[in-house]
Amino acid sequence: MSHHLISVQDLSFAYPDGTPALDGVTFTLHHGESLGLVGANGAGKSTLLLQLAGILWPARGTVRVGDWPVTPETLPQVRRSLGLVFQDPDDQLFMPTVEEDVAFGPANLGLPPDEVENQVVGALEHVGALHLRKRPSHRLSGGEKRTVSIAAVLAMTPNILVMDEPSSNLDPHARRQLIGQLGAFEHTKIIATHDLDLVLDVCARTIILARGRVAADGPTAELLANGALMRRCGLECPLRLQGCPRCGT
């Protein structure tokens, strides 16, 4: 596989009603990088993730995942390499039980039953959710659904993990568990989120999107501490990078 795991060149996209979402986005992600994707509402974060997974198609430009250009013909190879965790877990969990949801991907790859079982157990153990395997998916809490949706993607053993707002609706304990899980995932990952403190914890590099364009691309701590840049992009610095409101230090 190419050491350039993701290459996006001049990517542009508009929705059918003419609303522009992406305008000339270009970046390259190398093996093992952790990338935070941040921006105000409507900046194009979710749209970009759907382009990477071949769910939406560009009006202009190209997307490449590993050795594969993202085209209708290469989707099986692309989706084996790139696992997307949707913003709403209910879009991802549709089987009667947790273990069936996690087993769905490996089983559809044609793996033998014993290997599917190993993938299910390994993925659920990795996220600390093995005790949920017999539970009905629709009866899980929001945080439990989030955890199981991550396990369902990890069971596919992707080279790249892509997540859309992974910490939304999580309580503080579940959020801390998520940060630990993301830190333990050693491969390439992209995290689109409004949770800028999570980005500081997990991602060494960040891209800031503004109105569908790359406004900045660089070291996370450097970009997120740049108050002027953040304000121009409709954002605020993470709380722990802001000065004390009383003394300014």
User: Over the chain, what is the mean pLDDT?
Assistant: 91
Among left, alpha and beta (phi > 0; psi -120 to 50; other), residue 74 is alpha
- pLDDT greater than 70 at residue 225: yes
- pLDDT greater than 80 at residue 245: no
Cα-trace Rg, the chain: 18
pLDDT, tens only, 158-209: 989 999 998 887 888 888 888 888 887 778 999 999 999 999 999 999 999 9
pLDDT, tens only, 4-57: 689 999 999 999 998 899 999 999 999 999 999 999 999 999 999 999 999 999
Query: What pLDDT, on the 0 to 100 scale, is given for residue 243?
Result: 66
Greater model confidence, 170 or 149 = 149
Greater model confidence, 32 or 2 = 32
DSSP state of 87: S
Residue-range domains of the chain with CATH: 4-241 (3.40.50.300)
| pLDDT band at residue 249 using 50, 70 and 90 as cut-offs | low
Average of per-residue pLDDT across 44-73: 94
- pLDDT greater than 90 at residue 241: no
Burial class (CB in 10 A: 0-12, 13-18, 19+), 96: exposed
Q: Are 162 and 48 spatial neighbours (Cβ–Cβ below 8 Å)?
A: no
| Angle formed at CA 202 by CA 182 and CA 245, multiple of 5 degrees | 135
